[in-house]
Structure 1
Amino acid sequence: MTLLRVRGGELVNAGSWVYAWVKADAQQEPVIYVGGTGLPPTVRTWLHLHDRDPEVSRLAARYSEVAREDLDVLAFAVPGHLARRLLKAAVVQRLHRQGLLAEQYVGDPPDSQPIPEDVAELAERIVAAVIEYSRAAAERSTR
């Protein structure tokens, strides 16, 4: 069962998420987009693909290959004490440093803002998960 709470006409307590869109079969430069949301990741993914407003459907609006390329979305819960935007920025920084942003990357560019240690630690774990997932996906695609 999934419980979605609506209070005062708004979805509440859906969590906070940072997510990465990755090429389903690429180990090198797999990341197309990194986002953050307070919506359930399934809802945000659907909006990226289908909303008519290009500011909402950012991925479909910016990445022309979305309908022709297999992509996977990896979503990571953000603990309530961390700022989602700061974690997203830290993840983008680290993915960039590791050479994991695709040539066709369409998300926010990496910046050099200082990152608190607790945010940096979680960002490192997220990047490690992206690397591991991409390695395994690339291996599966060659079988």
Structure 2
Amino acid sequence: MDPLQPRLVHVRKGRIEPVGSWLYVWVDADDGSVAHIGATGFDPELRAFLHVTSDDPDLGRVRAHVPRWDSRDFDVLAFPLPVDVPRPEVKRILTARLEASEYPHPMPAEALLNARVATVIDAIVDAIEARTAAPRD
């Protein structure tokens, strides 16, 4: 049996210093539509919790902006991002790709400039398609 290893959470001068990098996609469990795309340095479970419990629209974006959020079922697909892949860029390009009338479609030209970002986005789109094609749990 492996010895218990602590997880270190840095709190400096009253602020938490996140150490992760995640992109997450809220998928409607019934119809497979994408309801929200987010990116965070915090645990995806924490962000999902804040999205549905916080009255602050900057923290509870799903609660503030997704219609009927409290009567729908969602699957949140969370993807750890490599350290060399910038969250804002991946979120912006993925959002543009998923908002297009059809996906997958050719990668936006700006993503082609960064092959690493394009690879990450392709993997995320593949996972979304697999989840929406799978039977509901």
The interval holding the TM-score normalised by the smaller chain is 0.7 to 0.9
Task: Give the counterpart of 1:36 among 33, 39, 51.
Answer: 39
**For 1:51-92, what per-residue CA distance to the aligned partner results, in whole angstroms no more than 9, with x for missing partners?**
121121111011131111111110001111111000111211
Identity %: 32
- Is the alpha carbon distance of 1:53 and 1:113 closer, same or farther for their aligned partners in structure 2, counting shifts above 3 Å? farther
Which whole-Å CA distance do the structure 2 matches of 1:70 and 1:93 have between them? 24
* 2:130 match: 132
Which whole-Å CA distance do the structure 2 matches of 1:131 and 1:98 have between them? 15
Instruction: Show structure 1 runs of 5+ residues with no match.
Output: 101-111
Larger RCO, structure (CA 8 Å, separation 6 or more) = 1
Which whole-Å CA distance do the structure 2 matches of 1:134 and 1:16 have between them? 24
The runs of at least 4 aligned residues of structure 1 exceeding 3 Å deviation read 97-100
Query: What is the TM-score of this pair, normalised by structure 2?
Result: 0.81
Q: What is the aligned-residue RMSD (CA, Å)?
A: 2.1
Number of aligned pairs? Answer: 126
- Greater Cα radius of gyration, structure 1 or 2: 2
Query: What is the TM-score of this pair, normalised by structure 1?
Result: 0.78
